[in-house]
Amino acid sequence: MPGIKIDQFLAAPDREITVVEYQDIFQTEAALKHGKFSKEYQDLSTVILLDPADLKKIGASDGDLVKISSEHGTVVVTAKKSEGDTKHEVMAKEGHQGHPGVGYMPASVWLNILGSTPAPVSAKVSRSQQKIYTVSELIPGFKV
């Protein structure tokens, strides 16, 4: 079957992670400048920073879509290789060895769908073929 790869029929490997909130000035600015329904805000909100080791475990690369599921909900966002990796030497010298098992997401409704943030949320992350849902697709009963 042309165009269909065998791994599409296999369940994507997943990884238990703790999702933690962070603040991003560019995302706050986008909410104010372009609105909370804008593509600019959505693009900056639907991101998770993952440790390279976690990305490898779920077979994903920087920029791939990943599904994050907690007991409260599921979202699809873009995985980004954590900045920690690029500063690896500095961090290692300081005793910080990256953050395997922990993913960082900017504060937004996409993170809050996963549960009782701002406290850390336990979730599973895996590669995803689905699309990123907009606010109105994400919230049941929502009308724009």
Partner 1 sequence: MTCTGCALLCDDIDVHDGEVRPACRIGAAHILNRHQVDPMVNHEIVSIDDAIGHAATLLTDAKHPMFLGFGNSVTETQEIGVRLAEKIGAGIDTCSSHAHLIDDIIHNRVRTCALSEVRDMADVILFWGADPMNTHPRLLSGYAYYPRGKNRQHGWEEDRTAITIDVRRSHTASICKGMHKIVFGHEAEFVDALMLALQNKVPKTVYDSKQVLKLAGTLKKAEFGVIFAGPGLVESVPHDAIIRLMDRLNEFSDFRILPLHSQYNLRSIAAVKTAATVTTTDVATGATTNNTTNNTTNTTTDAADAREQQGVGTQTSKITLNSLREADCILCVGFDLISSLPQACDIDARIIIIDPNETLTAGCADVVIPCAAGGVDMAGTAVRLDGVEIDLPCIMETGQAGVGMPTDTPTRMSDASIMNRLLEAV
Site residues, partner 1 (CB under 8 A): 18, 20, 22-26, 28-29, 32-37, 72-73, 83-84, 87, 91, 94-96, 99, 102, 104, 108-109, 112-113, 116, 118-120, 135-136, 138-144
Q: Which of 118, 81, 75 is nearest to 100 (CA)?
A: 81
Task: Tell the smallest beta-carbon distance from residue 7 to partner 1 (Å).
Answer: 32
Smaller CB distance to partner 1: residue 13 or 26?
26
Smaller CB distance to partner 1: residue 59 or 118?
118
Smaller CB distance to partner 1: residue 65 or 73?
73
Task: Tell the smallest beta-carbon distance from residue 136 to partner 1 (Å).
Answer: 7
Task: Tell the smallest beta-carbon distance from residue 142 to partner 1 (Å).
Answer: 4
Give me the residues paired with residue 133 across strands. Answer: none
Distance CA 80, CA 60 (A): 10
Q: What string of DSSP letters covers 38-101?
A: SHHHHHHHSEEEE-HHHHHHTT--TT-EEEEE-SS-EEEEEEEE-GGGTTHHHHHHTT----TT
Q: Which of 65, 72, 68 is nearest to 102 (CA)?
A: 68
Smaller CB distance to partner 1: residue 36 or 56?
36
Task: Tell the smallest beta-carbon distance from residue 110 to partner 1 (Å).
Answer: 9
